[in-house]
A and B are shown apart, each in its own frame.
Chain A
Amino acid sequence: MSDTVRHDALPAGIDRRNVLRLGVMGVGAAALLAACGEGNGIGGNASAAPDALPAAPSVSNVATAKKYSGSTVATDIPGFGTEMATTQQLAKQFEAETGIKIKTVPLPKSTSDAYAGDQRLLAAGQASPDVLLVDLIYPPALADYLLDLKSHLTEAEIALSYPNLIAVNTIKSRLVAYPWYGGFGRLYYRTDLLQKYGFSAPPTTWTELTSMATKIQAGERAANKAFAGYVFQGNAYEGLTCNALEWLASYNGGTFVDGTTVSVDNPNAIAALKLAQSWIGTISPSGVTTFTEDEAHSAFGAGNAAFMRNWEYAQDLDKGSNVAGKFGVAPLPAGAVPGGTTAAAAGGWAVAINKNTKNAEAAVEWLRYLTSPAAQAYRAINSADVPAQPAVAAMPEVQAALPALKQKVVPFARPTQVGVKYNEVSTIIFQAVNAMLRGSDVESGVKKIAGDLRGLIG
């Protein structure tokens, strides 16, 4: 692809226009990249036995860590799938080398459940878990309960991460969490079907996607009644907020709330949502309004869809699914309007330390190892987690494992600058958009979102 941008250029959001736009809006808290934890929480979908994994990298900070040998650190870990396995593997390695005991606490599958748990623990002043995994949408809400890592990590260590990820996690000039991995919305397409129907490249605009999907679906339906042109995450949950954000941003229609201003009621946003509404019952089954990542993943994996929007983890379909070796990954299409751009909801997770911890030093050493370049490369290769450090993303073995890293990404942040009210903001968005997908009027729906958001954040 000619417009391929090397992933190491990605961090700042690469696209100069995009940087400019956000800059102009003065999105203070802002964060080019403020985060989209994969709506469905962490864990990915694939499963692999821990013993099938290669050994974890050795602990580079072992010398300092050994000083705290014998202490116990309780830490959140992803709750399922290969992400859980690779993290457990790292924990085992760390225990064996440093003598610090790691007590793992698996997180619930849904990111909002994990957040709800954090709320209760932190508000009650609990000292455990010492180390928390935080979806990048929540640092503003949890900041007061987390340790400032600036006094524990060196400037060189902080500089390893993408600057915008550091910015997202810096609340009131305190670094409350250290970036662990990222995630971006991607377009998956069937290479064999594109060829069969005479298309030479994946779509670059949503209009193009719509017509390509229509043609392929019409042809494939004859043999497969369950075949759909395009599947995405349409259920009423965080994942739909990410999808809708991508539609709006790609149409140059803002990100619902920009800075402190509710911006959703604009013609571009309405055009984007109307197009999405038109997919339902045509190129997308009406049941897509109940799809999360899992349902989209299995429909595409079964060979029942030409296009799918999903995160990087879905590349696991290359192993042992009906579409193994028959699909490619591309940037999501742009809106066919002036100022239209490819847009990817930005997500990811960071590692934080509980302010009430009794083992801050040992916890910092564990954080240091868990987020080290070697550990990030290990997790990128073995559990498809997009590294949060450019140097790691540029490693050839990482790029070989995650080909999507070579694709252009223009990340957009969800409006997390609203802090503790983010969940309410997102609920207003995904409930209204879900209703539109099920046929309610787009114009009045957008008005309702705007009104509700203004009522909420003033």
Chain B
Amino acid sequence: MSGAVPAQLADVTVEQATISSRFARQAKLFPWLLFGPTILYLLVLSIFPLIYSLGVSLYDYTLGGDATFVGLQNYRDLLTDSVFWRKTWTTLQITIFAVGIELALGLVCALVLNRRLPGIGVIRLIIYLPMMMSPLVIGYFWKFILDGSFGVLNYLISFLGIPPQQWTIDLTLAKASIVLVDVWQWTPFVILILLAGLQSVPPQIYEAATLDRASIWMQFTRITLPYLTTPILLALLFRTIDTFKIFDIVYVVTAGGPGDLTETLSVFAFYEGFKFSQLGRAAAISWLVVIVINILATVLIKLLARQRSKAVLDEEGAVA
């Protein structure tokens, strides 16, 4: 009797050992199934096209015409052309203004909407809707609203005593119109991210601060803002990259005009390639865009990573 128990145990262990060795054997092949198809797919449809595009950018490649190898000529032409730099500046201007306003307005709105009120959940959800919609459709909404002769915006501002404006045609207002539309669509995204940050602040901290008679401003700068650093950086990362690539809204609202005043780099590359059939030049512009976006993304992701590791250290410090 007494010898039977160890024997049974031994059986179980042997069984477990065969199970885990069989599992280990199969687990060696399993990752191929998990990673293989995706890697293969993305190699074929993202890396290969990018390399192909790099090749095209080295040619004087006319759509439907000849392709002559010209080396770095396309890049040299672009980088020495003031037109390219002006359009780069336009893109940066729109990005800086749009993202700056989105962050500031988003912060204010998030603070307003952070209060517990009846119906606030539904209101927040409605406010989030623009970011889910097609930028092209939103461009159309606003082109109609901004129209100089029958647009409703001119009618609304007439109550403030402001004369009607040619929003999308005026030399100074056209860029502002693009910024306005981007702000309308993407401030909700900033609100969403910042509200999540605000809700991660433990309410006891505010209670303690109130007991310590910390002013509202002190509470905001010492408690609220530190909790918002990571969300703000994340919003900055996504918005900067996306606005730098802006195409749809510009294409619909101003088509890059008046003249080429609102032509961003994406619109520029599109026109070069598919309006003037200069595919080599278009590929070169788009590669320059990729390089700039890489630099922007690397810097912002580094900042974000540093902030995150700092946040983890702070938390560990608090626990200790």
To the question of whether A and B form a pair in one complex, the answer is no
